[in-house]
Each structure stands twice: as structure tokens, then as C-alpha cells.
Amino acid sequence: MNLPADRLIKKIFVTAECAQDELTEQILDAYPILKKIEIESEKTLIETTPPEDPKKILLVTRSKGEVVKDCPGTSEPYLCCRYQVINQTLNCPLDCTYCILQYYLNQPATIIYTDYQKIITEIDQKIASQSQRLWRFGTGELGDSLALTASQIFAIKLMEYFAAQKNALLELKTKTDRIGLILAQPHNGHTVISWSLNPLIIRNSEERLAPPPARRLNAAAEAVRQGFLVGFHFDPIIDIPDWESQYLGLIEELYRCIDPARIAWISLGSLRFPPSMKAKIIERYPHSRLPYGELIRGQDQKLRYLRPRRTEIYRSIYRKLTEIPDPPFVYFCMESPTVWQDVCGFTPESNAHLDYLFAENLWRRFPGLVRERPRWEDY
């Protein structure tokens, strides 16, 4: 229990079915001073405990359905990269105003699944279904991969598994900088640690519980020193009055701290959320200006900045990211073919093609990381 976010946790509930699991034992040991309450099932928690902030309660239990899924992404015509999400930690202790989790995860607690073996079986099945494809998995979709010790314990187990895989990578996506436990683990190059980045001014207003970008970059630099590949996500990009100097300054800082040759990928995605989330952000964060940006309804019905404005912002950021020799792979998360074309001068033909471009780039830039040269027909 040595991470800042762990201190938010006030109680731990453990369901009877997982009490003997190896991961449960490790997780409970990691929170020695917290009250542990054994309950029959998740239902018992809902029925017997008055509702509290789910970020302050850990529920350690076994999963009921599928944990490993295709990233939900968004609908056509927007392009997605066919990422695979491992939903082992559900909810995040960080309190970012724009985060969809706090509005849509309808659970009484932050849930940690302990049935590691079942989750590994699900990953195995995915990989076996298209064994020639390079698979990218990540735990950072429904929670921060590393903010809680409980999540780090699971991540360490996963790293061990992925180290032995030939055609699969694990991405641990985080906003935190306390990752010492992770850095000491063997990974065989198959774990990419990645950070979401926003300029300090945005961190101060919208990501107040997350460390400032400079600390995230220091952590990334340490990860590189320890032999990890790293990734960065400029997501959500927020249209503030001096966006250009802020984002370009951050990129300069990024390339000053991190050798671009060790960056596996960088994603760009502008602010977007379902319309119903607007009122919820206003209610929960009355001082945030995000909901009052110039947002229009996109073709997937999410609110987004106007396409010409997104293009203008992306162009500047993309140019800065790619003006160096042999730049990292830069891609858009949930963007339209029009934006791809206008910013990059090309557009992936499909989600599968984008997935292939990822693999091809990694194969080319990191010899030995991908078993064989990716073939388009395998995607």
C-alpha cells in the first residue's frame, strides 16, 4: 500500500469464492492496515452496504463473464486499431474530469478480478484464433493499469505471461509515476508502458489527482533505462486558447526526456464523450470548462470538436511529432478517414489495415520484437 492512489481506499471487500486465490492473498497483504470484509458475493455488497464513493472501496472478486474483449472503440466511419482490452481493474482512483469511467461504471466499488488463470485462458484463445497476427492487449481501458497496488500485482503476473508470447504485446497504460515494482520485473521486451500526456495547465484543471506531466516523463525515462519500450497518448487533446504552444512545448519536453527510438507508439485523440455525459461533468466538476468547448455531434453521436478545428490542431501536433528522423508510429484513436487523410496524407483502409500498420511499423523499427514480417492477408 505504497502508492498515492492506494491511500484513497478505505475498505476492502473480498468475496468468498476468491478468498483462497493466490492474487487475493497478495492483494490483501499489500493493504495491511485496511479493514477487510468477507462477503458472500458482489450482490451482498450492494444489498448490505450503504452506497459510498466507489473509488474508496475495493472489491476483490472473480469475474463473471468475459474479461478480455475487443476495445469497444466507436462506430464507423471512425477508425479504430483493433486493440484488445483486459478489464481486470474496473474503475480508476484518479479523478479526471473528462473520464467516462466515473459516469458509466455502475458498480459499488473499484473491482479487482483475481481469477488470473481464467483471464490467461481468454487471452490464449484470442491469440490462437489468429496466430499470425500481432496482438496488442492492454489493461488501461476501464481503469489505470498501474495506479493501484492491486492493479500492479496483476500487471506483474501478466508481464510474466507476455514475456513468453511470440506474437503479443502487453500495454500498461497509466498516468502515474510510481512504477518501481513494475520496472524490476522481467518482460522480454513484450511489455510497453505508456502514459497519457497533457500539458501542465490541463493537468492542473482536469487531472488534479494525477502527477504532472514532467513526473510522468521522468517515470517513462526510467522505464526506458530499464529496457522497456514506452508509449504515449495525447488523449484527450483539449482545445484551450494557447493549445499550440502548450502541446508543442510538451512534445519538445517529451523528446528531450525520451529517446524517440524507444517509443513504440504515440496516439492522438481529441476530447469526445457521449452527449449525456455533459450534464454529469457539469454536476461533478462545476468549475471545469470542458463541457463548454465548441463541441458538435459526430457521426458516432459523440460530442467532439469541429472537424476542421481537430484537423488544425492535429496537423500541428503531428508535424511536431514526426519532423524528427525515424519518428515513432503516430496514430489516431477514433478518428475519421477524412482527418487521417488531411493530417497524415494517407488513411488506413480499415480497422484491420490500421492494426496491420501497427505491426508492420513495430516489426520494422524494433527488430526481433515481432516474430515474422507481418503479412496484410493475416489481418
Partner 1 sequence: MQIKNVAIEQIIPAQSQERLFVEETNPDSHKPDSSLFIRPVFLHSTCNGFIILYGFDYISEIYKYGGKNVPAFVIPKSQSLFSALNIVTDFIRCSRPLWPIEVARILQLCNHQRFSDTKKSAFFKKLTAKDLTRTLEGRYLALIGLDPLFHKFLIEKKAPLKTWFLTAECPPIIQDLILILITECQPSLSTFEEISRNLLEILRRETITPEQLAAEIKPILAGISEEIQPSQKLEVFRNKIHERRFPQMTIHRERVNDFLQTIQLPAAVKIEFDPNFEERGYRLKVEIRTPNDIVELTEFLNSAAQSDLKLLLEIL
Contact with partner 1 (CB under 8 A) among 22, 188, 204, 292? 292
Q: How far is the CB of 152 from partner 1 (least distance, A)?
A: 35
Residues 6+ apart with CB under 8 A from 229: 189, 191, 192, 193, 262, 263, 264, 366, 369
Q: Which stretch binds partner 1 (CB under 8 A): 113-121, 262-270, 302-310, 363-371?
A: 302-310
Q: Which is nearer to partner 1, 6 or 239 (CB)?
A: 239
Q: Which is nearer to partner 1, 11 or 278 (CB)?
A: 278
Assess 336 for contact with partner 1 (CB under 8 A). Answer: yes
Q: How far is the CB of 239 from partner 1 (least distance, A)?
A: 9
Angle at the Cα of 124 from the Cα atoms of 122 and 129, rounded to 5 degrees: 100
Q: Which is nearer to partner 1, 72 or 77 (CB)?
A: 77
Q: Which of 319, 311, 366, 370 is nearest to 335 (CA)?
A: 311
Q: Which is nearer to partner 1, 77 or 227 (CB)?
A: 77
Q: How far is the CB of 178 from partner 1 (least distance, A)?
A: 34
Residue 301, sorted as left (phi over 0), alpha (psi -120 to 50) or beta, turns out to be left
Q: Which stretch binds partner 1 (CB under 8 A): 82-90, 107-115, 266-274, 307-315?
A: 307-315
Assess 46 for contact with partner 1 (CB under 8 A). Answer: no
Q: Are 134 and 358 in contact (CB under 8 A)?
A: yes
Angle, helix 213-225 to helix 243-257, in steps of 10 degrees: 20
Does residue 90 sit in helix, strand or coil? strand
Q: Are 245 and 208 in contact (CB under 8 A)?
A: no
Q: Which stretch binds partner 1 (CB under 8 A): 37-45, 128-136, 207-215, 285-293?
A: 285-293
Q: Which stretch binds partner 1 (CB under 8 A): 95-103, 157-165, 247-255, 294-302?
A: 294-302
Assess 306 for contact with partner 1 (CB under 8 A). Answer: yes
Residue carrying C-alpha cell 474496473: 90
Residues facing 138 on adjacent strands: 85, 171
Phi, psi for residue 75 in degrees, rounded to 5: -85, 170
Assess 16 for contact with partner 1 (CB under 8 A). Answer: no
Q: How far is the CB of 335 from partner 1 (least distance, A)?
A: 11
Residues facing 267 on adjacent strands: 233, 331
Q: Are 234 and 213 in contact (CB under 8 A)?
A: no
Show contacts with partner 1 in window 346-365 (CB under 8 A): none
Q: Are 54 and 92 in contact (CB under 8 A)?
A: no
Assess 275 for contact with partner 1 (CB under 8 A). Answer: no
Size of site (CB under 8 A) for partner 1 = 19
Residue carrying C-alpha cell 476501464: 142
Contact with partner 1 (CB under 8 A) among 7, 64, 297, 371? 297
The residues binding partner 1 (CB under 8 A) are: 77, 279, 283, 289, 291-294, 296-299, 304, 306-309, 336, 338
